[in-house]
C-alpha cells in the first residue's frame, strides 16, 4: 500500500506545487479571488450567447450583400461591354467615311 501511495503523493505534490507557489506570491486569498473571478465569468457566458447570435446574423447579411455585389458587378460589366460595342465604329462604316471625306 505504501508503494502506491508514494506514487500518488509525488504526483499530487507536483500538481499542488505551482498552486502553493502562486499562493505564496499572490497571497493566501488567491483561491478566493479565483472563485470570485470564476463566478463572474459564469455570469458573463449567458451574455455572450446573444452576441454570438447577432454575429451569426451579421455574417449572413454580409454573405448576401457579397452575392449582390458580385451580381451587380457582372451586370455593370455587361452594360459597359454592350455600350462599347455600340459605340465602336464598324469597319464598313469607316471605309464609307474615308471615301466620302476624301
Domains of the chain, by residue range, sit at 6-87
> What is the distance of C-alpha 41 from the center of its chain?
22
- Determine contact, residues 8/16, Cβ cutoff 8 Å: no
**pLDDT for the residue 102:** 47
Neighbours of 30 (CB within 10 A): 15
Query: Could you tell me the pTM of the whole model?
Result: 0.41
Task: Give me the residue label for grid cell 478566493.
Answer: 32
- Determine contact, residues 22/30, Cβ cutoff 8 Å: yes
**pLDDT for the residue 68:** 95
Please identify every stretch of the chain with a pLDDT value under 70, giving residue numbers as ranges. Answer: 1-9, 88-102
**pLDDT for the residue 69:** 95
**pLDDT for the residue 29:** 75
Biggest CA pair distance of the chain: 118
Amino acid at each position: 500500500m505504501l508503494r502506491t501511495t508514494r506514487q500518488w503523493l509525488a504526483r499530487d505534490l507536483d500538481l499542488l506545487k505551482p498552486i502553493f507557489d502562486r499562493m505564496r506570491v499572490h497571497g493566501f486569498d488567491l483561491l478566493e479571488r479565483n472563485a470570485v473571478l470564476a463566478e463572474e465569468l459564469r455570469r458573463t457566458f449567458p451574455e455572450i450567447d446573444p452576441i454570438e447570435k447577432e454575429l451569426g446574423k451579421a455574417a449572413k447579411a454580409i454573405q448576401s450583400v457579397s452575392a449582390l455585389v458580385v451580381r451587380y458587378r457582372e451586370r455593370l460589366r455587361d452594360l459597359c461591354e454592350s455600350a462599347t460595342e455600340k459605340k465602336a465604329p464598324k469597319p464598313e462604316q469607316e471605309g464609307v467615311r474615308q471615301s466620302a471625306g476624301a
